[in-house]
Chains A and B, each alone.
Chain A
């Protein structure tokens, strides 16, 4: 079945660091990928829709300069958390697919901890 790979699985870094998270579709092409954020014991909140070859579409309240998204190829989208602070600590999950009646497929998530 369709597989989405997300890397790294865990990041611990100092405040002020920028962190890049990669999301790859391994056996299919994805013109659109989605980035979600999940707080402890809460649901997934859509942050942005990543569009191959064009600008990402951000949800209301998500800072586009803070969360940079690049979707340079049909199999790779990256999320960069710039100048990360402790409040950015969270679980970030990407997904791809979902065209028509097909389900989205999710990466295993990235646990980001900012000290």
Chain B
């Protein structure tokens, strides 16, 4: 079975400051890892993914994420937060050898204050 944990329900950060949204995962094999963002009453938008290779992955809107195999983590980061980054963020995982359906974390609400 695979699972994802997002330990923070909400993250608050001031505009211009760096942000981190945490994610840890559990899969039986090698993982594909994803970050998605959701705005109110909308579906999920893809931000970035880790498949293999470089542990630091760069994605849309200036976001990046660092894959750490030993800590089974895939934290989302951005050097300088914008008010418009305020949204709900989901980490998701699937086993490379497993089925295509994603397993999502519980989500973290990011609030960027002006």
Residues of A within 8 A of B (CB): 4, 6, 9, 32, 34, 41-44, 46, 49, 91, 93, 95, 98-99, 101, 103-109, 111
Which B residue sits closest to A98, measured CB to CB? B100
Pair A43/B100 contact, Cβ less than 8 Å:
no
Given A34-B101, A106-B45, does the pair A101, B90 have CB atoms closer than 8 Å?
Answer: no
For A106, give its contact among B44, B99, B101, B103 (CB under 8 Å): B44
Residues of B within 8 A of A (CB): 32, 34, 36, 41-46, 49, 51, 90, 94, 99-107
Given A42-B106, A101-B51, does the pair A106, B43 have CB atoms closer than 8 Å?
Answer: yes
Complex CA gap A34/B44 in Å reads 13
Complex CA gap A4/B44 in Å reads 11
Pair B102/A104 contact, Cβ less than 8 Å:
yes
- Closest-CB distance, B10 to chain A (whole angstroms): 10
Pair B107/A42 contact, Cβ less than 8 Å:
yes
Complex CA gap A92/B87 in Å reads 19
Complex CA gap A103/B36 in Å reads 10
Pair B32/A108 contact, Cβ less than 8 Å:
no
Complex CA gap A95/B90 in Å reads 15
Pair B34/A103 contact, Cβ less than 8 Å:
yes
Give the residue among B43, B106, B107 with the most A Cβ atoms within 10 A: B43
With a CB–CB cut-off of 8 A, which chain A residues contact B41? 9, 91, 108-109, 111
- Closest-CB distance, A29 to chain B (whole angstroms): 15
Please give me the 3 A-B residue pairs with the lowest Cβ-Cβ distance, nearest first: A106-B43, A101-B51, A106-B44
Given contacts A44-B104, A101-B49, 6 further A-B contacts (CB under 8 A): A43-B106, A44-B90, A98-B100, A101-B32, A104-B34, A106-B45
With a CB–CB cut-off of 8 A, which chain B residues contact A49? 99-101
